[in-house]
Amino acid sequence: MTQDLQTTTYTLIDGKKVSSDIKDEIAAKVAERKQLGKKIPHLAIILVGDDGASQTYVDNKVKACKSVGFHYTMMRFADTISEERLMKHIDHVNNDDDVDGFIVQLPLPAHISVENITEKIRSDKDVDGFTNHNFGSIISKSPLLLPATPYGVMELLRRYGIETEGKHAVVVGASRIAGAPLSMMLTEQGRATVTICHKFTKDLPAYTRSADILLTAVGKPGLITADMVKEGAIVIDIGTTRVEGPEYPKGWAIKGDVDFKNVAPKASYITPVPGGVGPMTIVSLLLNTLRATELRHP
Ligand code: NAP
């Protein structure tokens, strides 16, 4: 969709549409596997506690599995479960031949170490791409299962024909699940020149203004204002923050890091929030689950 605003036009990167196209492609591959008598991908989801947002994310993942014909298993545990017991369940899923991929929904209760739990997951079933092995495999010649959110961003860029080679990509936010692996993927697969900014970066606007491609994953609505963006830049907003306020019809709204209204007229391409990167993360999970299945059961 191209929108005319003042003197500039920008292309809205429609993650909903791209993710729906990819789901159709996955569903066709699943149907073909079924016809050939091959194993149907099976995703297991472990949910600890009853956090409302986590429940919504998990419901969406289950819905996505159903929409492409995957098998799925939901495993719920009370937030009082010990780390040791949760590890035992993970061992069980690791050794369950019928499960091709699984995820442990984050966040976990404070008494459980995310790092210990993540590292317990077999890397060839780690369809979120969170383990050290999969993180490191980004820079190998044959990555195993790519971290889901950056994978989704790279796929969006690819499907919109956005060239990254030789471009200056500035990534704002350096977390383990978003900014850090994204910067590695932009370097390795995208052949971009990458700058990573974080909380301690001095003079953030000086960096963002030099970006041909600006990607932000911080979780601070309005962090990226129009004066921080170069004319014609490509802007990818991963930030997803629930903001409350009487001005929103539902009493709340989901906001990205970018001041969309004022930044969009300066951009050449831009992702909305919601409807940009978010739907791509779930689709990456499906792509990884399909890949994990194909690797184990060609
Ligand atoms: P996180 O672990 O809190 O990481 C935030 C990163 O931003 C950190 O690297 C932090 O720096 C940096 N940061 C904080 N304040 C900053 C500032 N003022 N300027 C520059 N950098 C700053 O969060 P996350 O898990 O990566 O998530 C980030 C956002 O992306 C959240 O809104 C989250 O909901 C969203 N997200 C969306 C998806 C999706 O599928 N759409 C997936 C993942 C994340 P330090 O490292 O120095 O603390």
The residue annotated as part of the active site, out of 100, 105, 126, 230, is 105
Residue nearest to atom 41 of ligand 1 (CA): 278
Fold (CATH) for 37-121: Rossmann fold (3.40.50)
Q: DSSP labels for 189-246?
A: TT--EEEEE-TT-SSHHHHHTT-SEEEE-S--TT-B-GGGS-TT-EEEE---EEEE-T
Verify whether ligand 1 is closer than 6 Å to residue 199 (CB atom).
yes
Question: Which residue from 238, 242, 281 has its CB within 8 A of the most atoms of ligand 1, so it is best to mutate?
Answer: 238
pLDDT tens digit string along 246-268?
Answer: 999 999 999 999 999 999 999 99
pLDDT band at 5 (very low <50, low <70, confident <90, very high): very low
Q: Which of 272, 286, 288, 285 is nearest to 238 (CA)?
A: 272
Average pLDDT over residues 269-289: 97
Domain with CATH 3.40.50.720 in the chain: 148-278
Q: Above 80 in pLDDT, residue 1?
A: no
Domain with CATH 3.40.50.10860 in the chain: 37-121
Fold (CATH) for 148-278: Rossmann fold (3.40.50)
pLDDT value, residue 2: 52
pLDDT band at 121 (very low <50, low <70, confident <90, very high): very high
Tokens of 45: 């989801």
